Amino acid sequence: MSVPETLINEALRKGIDLVDVLAKVLNLDPNERTEAHLELAAEFLNEGKALIDRDPIQASENLYKAAEEAIKALAIALNLDESRTALEQGRWTTVLLFNAVDSISDKLGKEEVRLWWGRAWFLHVEGFHEARLSPNQVKRDLKYVEAIVKLTQEYCGH
């Protein structure tokens, strides 16, 4: 069975996190939720890297989504308030994501997470929404997204 495209598009338009909605309905434990977000992060990272030269706009969005999913996974793994709020609301807001980045940075003692996230956000805004980045510019920020995903994989034992 597949989910109709109209439902997926409407959920995305409204900012609904399908992983967290399904996790809540299925009563998944935090480890399973973390794994689901981490799996998505790896997929988005690989897809984003593959698209850089031929579609830097979509590559920018995929790379941002990789960072976003990694942040969600880390927030769940660290049992942050932001992850519980997102689960209750069925969505991650921009405010929750930015707060989670700060909490992750503080909890892990890694201020660089804020820098990495800032570059991912730059890809989202300037690369995807504004479509202003060349493939070379997207490549320059790839390392920051990879760092977030790698940190998450290491913390989660991958």
The total number of structural domains in the chain stands at 1
Give the domain extent around 124: 5-155
Q: Report the 3 state secondary structure along 29-43.
A: CHHHHHHHHHHHHHH
Residue 149: CATH number of its domain: 1.20.120.330
Tens-digit pLDDT profile for the chain (158 aa)? 676 878 777 776 776 677 767 767 776 778 888 998 999 999 999 999 999 999 999 999 999 999 999 999 999 999 999 999 998 888 899 999 999 999 999 999 999 999 999 999 999 999 999 999 999 999 999 999 999 999 999 999 87
For residue 5, give both structure tokens.
């495209």
Q: Please, is 16 exposed, middle or buried when counting C-beta atoms within 10 Å of its C-beta (0-12, 13-18, 19+)?
A: middle
